[in-house]
Amino acid sequence: MSSNDEEKEAAHWSELPSELLWMFAERLSFVENVKMASVCNNWRHAIQSLSVVKPQDTHSHCEPWMMVIKNINSNEREFVSASTKEKYTFSHGDFRGADLLSSKQGWLLLRRLKSSPPSEPECCYTIFLVNPIFEGKTPMPNFNCTRLFHGVFTLVDGNPHCVVLADFCKVTEVTLWIARPDDAAWTKHQPSFNKFNYYELAIATGSYYREVRDWKKLCSSCHYLIVIGQYVYCFDAIGRCCIFDMVGLVWRGIPGLEPCTESPGYITENKGKIVLFKPNNKFTELCFFKLKHLGATTARWLKMRDYDMEDECLIFSKNLLFVNAKLRGVKEFYLLKHGVLRKKSVWARGSSIQVHNLMDEKNRDEDLLVDLLSQHSVWVDLPGPSVN
């Protein structure tokens, strides 16, 4: 085939309508879509519009990916599939010096420490979102902070809509900073009960006297930050919660929400629901709970059944992922940063890994994850093929 014929064939391929490309794109992996976008002009637009027309449920696919940072001052980031071992390296100028806060549907929320004069008491961070698949970037206002902090965001029509930041560990209060992409600065939000006497807080929320100390602990730090729609959920380590309504600008607690466990768990959002995960007291079984609202001000944790977690991929943090791909016959992955699952686990630099291959008990992929953990690597939520 002559070079002219090849160019004509490529031109015809690149002009395929987006409606037809959707049929292929939703069945391809993250890496396969990136490769196709590099040779087909309409492919990048098709997969971007696909996320608008048919948005994926958060963490609904069963293809766990890790972003490997071999050198934080490099423009390159390597993305590795833990199930297929497929790799793809992106070179992007915005990766240099940036670390990950959170990810969702291919978008990465990143921060980069800016150089500040020695006289400045606070550190200044550049906050931005990038999508390596669409080559999109959404800048956010600079953020000044003296401590580590959480960061989460929402998407509307496949694009960043709102970013929420919160202190990683603050001594006396919960503080949120919220901004949208067009905002010039972050808006600060604090619950008014931070300034109240905690006895007044108990009366205002309807909680009992014995809960006052628990509320004080809850309001003293934000361990888990989740945003669903207009609501921001701030959890402590054992599942108690206060909520901020970004539309009504109202804070409220859930005084009837009892901790589901005395030991810390891990909390995330899955398909619009809040899920708590922990091993049982003997570290022999994984337990999952979902938050069920019983009214405007009450809720409780309900234990989930085993089959509720089939074919799920949940990122509890950038250091903790759970995959149960039982229906697809792939694998189960548990990567626990602090070694919670101590039985039948493989240790690597203080982290615990347990990989169970449901297809072949003798063929295990622990070496891959151990190798990844020897580098700086984090779990990321990337688009995957539809499980339906």
Dist. CA 182–CA 127, nearest whole Å: 13
Confidence of residue 142 (pLDDT cuts 50, 70, 90): very high
pLDDT for residue 361 is more than 70: no
Dist. CA 36–CA 379, nearest whole Å: 24
Range 7-32 average pLDDT = 64
Task: Note the helical H segments in the chain.
Answer: 3-14, 18-25, 30-39, 41-53, 198-205, 212-219, 366-373
pLDDT of res. 29: 72
Q: Is 39 exposed, middle or buried (0-12, 13-18, 19+ CB in 10 A)?
A: exposed
Query: Which region among 224-233, 312-321, 365-374 has the lowest average model confidence (pLDDT)?
Result: 365-374
pTM score of the predicted model: 0.77
Q: In a 3-state reduction of DSSP, which class is residue 287?
A: strand
pLDDT of res. 136: 81
Contact assessment for residue 328 and residue 287, using Cβ atoms and an 8 Å cutoff: no
The contacts of residue 4 (CB under 8 Å, 6+ apart) are: none
Residue predicted with more confidence, 340 or 229: 229
Contact assessment for residue 212 and residue 198, using Cβ atoms and an 8 Å cutoff: yes
Fold assignment, 55-380: Methylamine Dehydrogenase; Chain H (2.130.10)
pLDDT digits (tens, 9 = 90+) for 170-216: 545 678 999 999 999 999 998 765 443 444 444 444 443 344 444 44
Contact assessment for residue 279 and residue 286, using Cβ atoms and an 8 Å cutoff: yes
Task: Note the helical H segments in 188-290.
Answer: 198-205, 212-219
Dist. CA 30–CA 28, nearest whole Å: 7
pLDDT of res. 308: 79
Confidence of residue 27 (pLDDT cuts 50, 70, 90): confident
Q: For residue 155, which amino acid is it?
A: L
Q: How many CB atoms lie within 10 A of CB 66?
A: 24
Every domain of the chain and the residues it spans: 55-380
* Per-residue CA distances from 217 to 114, 171, 224 (Å): 33, 10, 14
